Amino acid sequence: MAAKAKPSGAAGVRALPVAELRNRLASGAVSAVDLAEDCIARIEAREHEVQAWAWFDAEYVRQQARAMDAYRISGRPVGALHGLPVGIKDIIDVRGMPTGNGFEPDTGRKPGRDSFVVERLKAAGAIIMGKTVTTELAFMHPSQTRNPRNPDHTPGGSSAGSAAAIADGMVPLAIGTQTGGSLIRPASFCGVTGFKPTFGSIPRRGVLPQSPSLDTLGVFAADPTGAAILAEVLYGHDGEDADTAPAPHPRLYDIAGSAPPLKPVFAFAQVPGWETADQDTRDAFAELADALGEGGFHIELPPLFNDALAARQRIHFAEMARCYHHYWRDAKDHLSDEVRAAIEEGNSVLARDYLSALDLKTVLNAGLEEIFERCDAIICPAAVGPAPQGLGSTGDPVFNGLWTFCGTPAVTVPLLAASNGLPMGVQLIGPHGNDGRLLRTARWLFEWADQ
């Protein structure tokens, strides 16, 4: 069952756990410049093979690091992410920094305003490390990024660069997005932690919209605690994102780091698409269930859940056709076959079918509430198997789309190994709004697997 792969080339200060690194930066035991130089050296040594970065400027990183050290030395209070480098997926706006959306016609585009999440990062003292590679318009056409665990295998998508940069030890934290499985799947393939919050937790202003009913910002880190530290800074309300709402700020890190009052209970679910899981996945989850013993039980989702994947795709493609209409109109010849086919399908969706698909979400969440009364988290694979060989596909998101559709928080942790040695993620799903408790459960499982 063991696979907890550490970041490739994990050495030096950048390999420290994020919580420890944050404390050392705040106290001055580690300087922002030293950490930045360590990350820069790793990127310069490995980028030619991994190709995780769409835009990276070492001198820009150094300028930020020097400013962070000068700020700390001045005696002023430091932010929650002081001096921590963060990779930004290349569909997320950073003022003055090229943001190309993984699409050739958008190459060189420079936003005049930071996205909400980048504003939060800068206010917290984070170092904007650069833009990580995304697939074309954050959809299914593969990017140039390779999997650091084995460069002959896909890193997944669409947040390929963010997952690969964490897995290769280039940066301790990164941001991605998920509309189907674009956070959880690449995290699983690359052997890192990926966290998708409850829908509407992190505002999306300044992020390329693809399907507003589904688009969700999330984070990558080596472990659940690191994910909690980054995500907590990003939560909030923004009047320009109608799916966010005023709420008390979450204490994700405190909750994630606390001891569960009772040993967590897990509900093992054979989710729609289970028949596509490979033998390694089936065997590994059977072994995990046996190891957890009375801490887990098996459930069958109601038959209506079998309609979820088709409903999610109907919503996704219909909204994608609307959001990407200007690309369809002005740059159709530049679109990949994957993007073009999705837009064409979206153009054919009837209003009644689209609205019916939206209604299904409410029904499914009512069913999930009953399950969550009996467990701390639903547990299922993050992908049908390890990262597929070859770079012609980003993998199958079948085990992710249901949770994106329902808007529940989900996190994957790298606990399992396939017969070929590649990592496989264990995906945990929690009830709406209980993101901190889900991260606590994930941390418990992550540490339990080490015992």
pTM (2 d.p.): 0.97
Residue 366 falls inside a structural domain = no
Residue 365 falls inside a structural domain = no
- The boundaries of the domain holding residue 425 are 13-267+372-448
* Catalytic center residues: 89, 158, 182
Residue 70 falls inside a structural domain = yes
CATH assignment at residue 27? 3.90.1300.10
Residue 216 falls inside a structural domain = yes
Residue 348 falls inside a structural domain = no
How many domains does the chain contain in total? 1
Three-state SS annotation for the chain: CCCCCCCCCCCCHHHCCHHHHHHHHHHCCCCHHHHHHHHHHHHHHHHHHHCCEEECCHHHHHHHHHHHHHHHHCCCCCCCCCCCEEEEECCECCCCCCCCCCCHHHCCCCCCCCCHHHHHHHHCCCEEEEEECCCHHHCCCCCCCCCCCCCCECCCCCCHHHHHHHHCCCCCEEEEEECCCCCHHHHHHHCCEEEECCCCCCCCCCECCCCCCCCEEEEEECCHHHHHHHHHHHCCCCCCCCCCCCCCCCCHHHHHHCCCCCCCCEEEECCCCHHHCCHHHHHHHHHHHHHHHHHEEEECCCHHHHHHHHHHHHHHHHHHHHHCHHHHHHCHHHCCHHHHHHHHHHHCCCHHHHHHHHHHHHHHHHHHHHHHCCCCEEEEECCCCCCCEECCCCCCCCCCHHHHHHCCCEEEEEEEECCCCCEEEEEEECCCCCHHHHHHHHHHHHHHCCC
Which pLDDT tens digits describe the chain residue by residue (451 residues)? 545 556 666 667 899 999 999 999 999 999 999 999 999 999 999 999 999 999 999 999 999 999 999 999 999 999 999 999 999 999 999 999 999 999 999 999 999 999 999 999 999 999 999 999 999 999 999 999 999 999 999 999 999 999 999 999 999 999 999 999 999 999 999 999 999 999 999 999 999 999 999 999 999 999 999 999 999 999 999 999 999 999 998 999 999 999 999 999 999 999 999 999 999 999 999 999 999 999 999 999 999 999 999 999 999 999 999 999 999 999 999 999 999 999 999 999 999 999 999 999 999 999 999 999 999 999 999 999 999 999 999 999 999 999 999 999 999 999 999 999 999 999 999 999 999 999 999 999 999 998 8
Residue 357 falls inside a structural domain = no
Residue 433 falls inside a structural domain = yes
Residue 390 falls inside a structural domain = yes
